[in-house]
Amino acid sequence: MLKYLHIENIAVIESSDIEFNSGFNVLTGETGAGKSIVIDSINAVLGERTSKDLIRAGCSEAEVSALFGELSEDAVELLSENGITPDEDGNILVARKLSTSGKGIIKINGKPLTAGLLREISSDLINIHGQHDNQALLNPEKHCGFIDAVAGNEREISEYYDEFKNLNRIRKELQNLQTDEDEKQRKIDLLKYQTDELRKAEIKVGEIADLKRKLKVAENYESTLKALNTVSLLLSGSEESDGAISELKSAAKQLSTLDDVQFGETLSKMNTIIDEAQEISSYVTGFLSDDEFVSSTADSINERLDLLYKLMLKYGDSEEKMLSFLESAEKELEAIKLSDVRIKELSDMLEKSKLKLIELGDRLTDTRKKAAHIFEKNVSDVLKELNMPSVKFIVNITQGRYTKTGRDIVEFLISANAGEQPKPLAKIASGGELSRIMLAIKSALLGKDNVGTMIFDEIDTGISGYAADKVAVQLKRVSVNRQVICVTHLAQIAARADNHLLIEKSVKNGRTFTKVYSLGYDERINEIARIMSGTDITENMYNSAKELLDRSK
């Protein structure tokens, strides 16, 4: 529950400390005194969006802080998940600073946090009913949420949603595989052409560099052949003459006859020269007899290079990239061939998922239909107590397409008068009726959540007289199980309060100031009389207010 609220530099409120009690709290005051500012301040401390206009004129900063106690288990658990622990008395202090610069600060028990996280936490602390809730009543898309709250079907909703996501995942994969058959065949033909072309080329890494080297040789074939033959002849000789190697051997033989001490090293060098000359001769002879040298022409090498260059334009600018393209294309081709098998698997999975989704959807619908009967009775009972004796409140559930929340289309219908057919709320409900219907719904939802505080802003819109007294009784009844804070203009509602707070405006030195304070018995009589009569409070009106207050107690 909300224990204390401190407001500083918010609109017409310079500084105010408001103490709330358990049970039924009401806020009254003249029009323009600042009742809405208190609600705006509470919204601010709950993390709702605020405007710079909320900051008091002439001030650069404003602050709102709220002390909450008697927290629900859900609230304590959520706080704990975010590293926040209530104090030894089980309280938390929520503080929010606003600035004209736009840089605000939010803290719980001194720990900074975001507005989004504060909104999440505050949803377990306070439920505020205002005109936007009436709009939710007029929007059928919101009605299913009310029924789910009664049904307590979180598990069924979760199981259904998980299967809904699974079905969409399967369907998406299946759609990606089930491309147009003509397009699929075109893709297969293209991949086959590409892989065949690359395989036939028998590409090897480093081949282009090797071909360029060979091309240089081939382009000078005649001169190369003549030079190498000359080298071979000079080194190895011919039938008519000895070559250099033979001459070197003869020289070495002569050296071997001399003194080893004096010419041994020279002989060794000579033998090394002979070995190297023989090695050169063997290399030249082998090169001249190599089939590749004999058969390789500049034309054939250029033809191979042209092929590789053309392939490089299609598949990559190196042998590595072309081979990588070939590998990818082969895998893609294989995947397409295997896709028919996967399509069959996915089709079977999709059918099973559809059947399971239907089953879980039916189970979810059952929970809603059972809850709808209970909800109809509870809301109708409360509405009859709220001076709508002939009311018929119907929860209409029809079936639509499957969505993430099920296939149920839920809409509230109402017949306010005997003999009338139930129709959608948007077509027949007045402002006063909407307020009473929302109060009845809030009453029917009691115990379905753990929110400790309910705030009603403008719950009395469009009602008066006997109906107002019935609304006051119901608000008082709701406050037995939780804290209720109500902004009201009706004496009947104010008279039922356990704690009556007056919002009073004054003007000093050209500035407006608003104060909020709790009223005692005599002060309450005066305020109730003011609400009933306006500014002129006669003795009869005073007595009527006193009688109303005493009777309400």
Domain-located, residue 330: yes
Give me the sheet containing 92-99, strands edge to edge.
13-19, 2-10, 61-68, 92-99, 105-108, 111-112
Note the pLDDT of residue 319. 92
Same domain, 2 and 98: yes
Residue 374 belongs to a domain: no
pLDDT of residue 77 exceeding 90: no
List all residues 6 or more positions away from 338 whose beta carbon is below 8 Å from its beta carbon.
none
Of 285, 301, 335, the domain-final residue: 335
Considering the domain architecture, whether residues 121 and 186 belong to the same structural domain is answered as no
Share of the chain above pLDDT 70, in %: 93
DSSP category for residue 142: G
pLDDT at 135 over 70: no
Q: What's the pTM value of the predicted model, to 2 decimals?
A: 0.62
Mark whether 79 and 201 lie in a shared domain.
no
> What's the Rg (C-alpha) of the chain?
47
Averaged pLDDT score across all residues of the chain: 85
Exposed/middle/buried for 348, CB within 10 Å: 0-12, 13-18, 19+?
exposed
Residue 291: pLDDT above 60? no
Residue 248 covered by a domain: yes
What tens digit of pLDDT does each residue of 342-400 get? 888 899 999 999 999 999 999 999 999 999 999 999 999 888 888 888 888 999 999 99
Q: What is the pLDDT of residues 313-325, one digit of tens each?
A: 999 999 999 999 9
Residues 113 and 250 in one domain: no
Q: Which residue has the tokens 């039922």?
A: 496
- Does a structural domain hold residue 489? no
Could you tell me the residue range of the domain that residue 77 belongs to? Answer: 1-22+30-125+498-518
Q: How far apart are CA 44 and CA 6, in angstroms?
A: 12
Query: Is 216 a domain residue?
Result: yes
- Phi then psi for residue 404, to 5 deg, are -70, -15
Q: Are residues 227 and 314 in the same domain?
A: yes
Query: In this structure, are residues 119 and 47 in contact, taking their beta carbons and an 8 Å threshold?
Result: yes
**Based on the domain organization, do 270 and 204 belong to the same domain?**
yes
Q: How many separate domains does the chain show? A: 2
User: Within this chain, do residues 191 and 304 fall inside the same structural domain, yes or no?
Assistant: yes
The count of other CB atoms within 10 Å of the CB of residue 212 is 11
The reported pLDDT for the residue numbered 180 is 65
Tokens at residue 548, please?
Answer: 């109303």
Which pLDDT belongs to residue 161?
96
Are residues 121 and 186 part of one domain?
no
Secondary structure (DSSP) of 305-371: HHHHHHHHHHH-SSHHHHHHHHHHHHHHHHHHHHHHHHHHHHHHHHHHHHHHHHHHHHHHHHHHHHH
**What is the predicted pLDDT for the residue at 553?**
75
Residue 509 lies in a domain: yes
- Please check the confidence at residue 290 and state whether its pLDDT lies above 80: no
Higher per-residue confidence, 155 vs 298: 155
User: Is the domain of 3 the same as that of 95?
Assistant: yes
Average pLDDT estimate for 506-529: 86
pLDDT for 221 equals 59
User: In this structure, are strands 13-19 and 392-403 parallel, antiparallel, or unpaired?
Assistant: unpaired
Confidence of residue 192 (pLDDT cuts 50, 70, 90): very high
Last residue of a domain, one of 277, 309, 335: 335
Are 89 and 199 in a shared domain? no
Torsion angle (degrees, nearest 10) of CA 523, 526, 530, 536 = -140
| The last residue of a domain, from among 335, 365, 394 | 335
Residue 215, domain member (yes or no): yes
Tell whether 187 and 328 lie within a shared domain.
Answer: yes
Under 8 Å between Cβ of 146 and 379: no
pLDDT in the model for residue 134: 62
Same domain membership, residue 113 and residue 214: no
**pLDDT, tens digit, 9 for 90 and up, residues 78-123:** 888 888 888 888 899 999 999 888 788 889 988 888 888 888 888 7
Q: What is the CATH number of the domain that holds 82?
A: 3.40.50.300
537 occurs within a structural domain: no
Per-residue model confidence as pLDDT tens digits over 428-482: 656 667 777 888 888 887 766 667 788 887 677 777 778 888 888 888 888 888 8
Q: Rounded to 5 degrees, what are φ and ψ at 517? A: -150, 155
Extended beta strands in 70-198, E state: 92-99, 105-108, 111-112, 126-129
Of 165 and 117, the structure prediction assigns the larger pLDDT to 165
